[in-house]
Amino acid sequence: MSAPDDAEQELTLHLTDYQRLKSALWYHVGKLVDAACLDLNVNATPQFIGSLTELAWVQFDNIAKDLENFAKHANRSTISTADVLLLARKNPDLHGLLQKVVDGEAAARAAKQAEKSKR
C-alpha cells in the first residue's frame, strides 16, 4: 500500500467514525427524549431530537476540553470525578445532584473493595 492510499483510508475512516459517533448519540438522545416525553405526556418532532443532538454534541465538545484542562491543571493525566464536579461549579443544584452520583459511586467501590478483602 502506498502512502497517499493510507492517508485517504485514514480520512474516510475518520469521517465514518465521526458519523457513527453522531448517529449513536442521536439514537440515545432520541431514547432519552422519548422517556422524558412519556413522563410529560407530550411528543417531540424528529427535528427537535436532531437539534437537541447537535446541542449535546457541542456540549460534549465543550466539556471534554474543560475536563482535559481541569485535569491538566491538577497535574493529572486522568480525569477524575473532582474534575466533573468542577464543571458544575456555577450551578449549586447541579453540583448537588452530581455530588450524589459521585458519593454513590465511591460507596459502591468501597463496598466492592471490602468484599474483596473479606475473601
Partner 1 sequence: MPPKRTPKANEDTPSNRHIQEQADRPASPSAEDQEGQRKATIPPELLAKLLKNFMEDEGTKISGAATKTVGEYMHLFLTEAVYRAVSNRRDGDPWAKTNAGLMLEVDDLEKITPQLLLDF
Q: Applying CB under 8 A, which residues contact partner 1?
A: 17-18, 21, 24-25, 28-45, 47-48, 51-52, 55-56, 59-61, 63-65, 67-68, 71-72, 77-81, 83-85, 87-88, 91, 94, 97-98, 101-102, 105-106, 109
Which residue, 31 or 111, has its beta carbon nearer to partner 1?
Answer: 31
In whole angstroms, what is the distance from residue 65 CA to residue 63 CA?
A: 5
Here the cell at position 29 is: 438522545
The number of beta carbons lying within 10 Å of the beta carbon of residue 70 is 19
Q: Which is nearer to partner 1, 11 or 64 (CB)?
A: 64
In the bound state with partner 1, the residue whose beta carbon lies nearer, of 9 and 91, is: 91
Ramachandran region, residue 75 (left: φ > 0; alpha: ψ -120 to 50; beta: rest): left
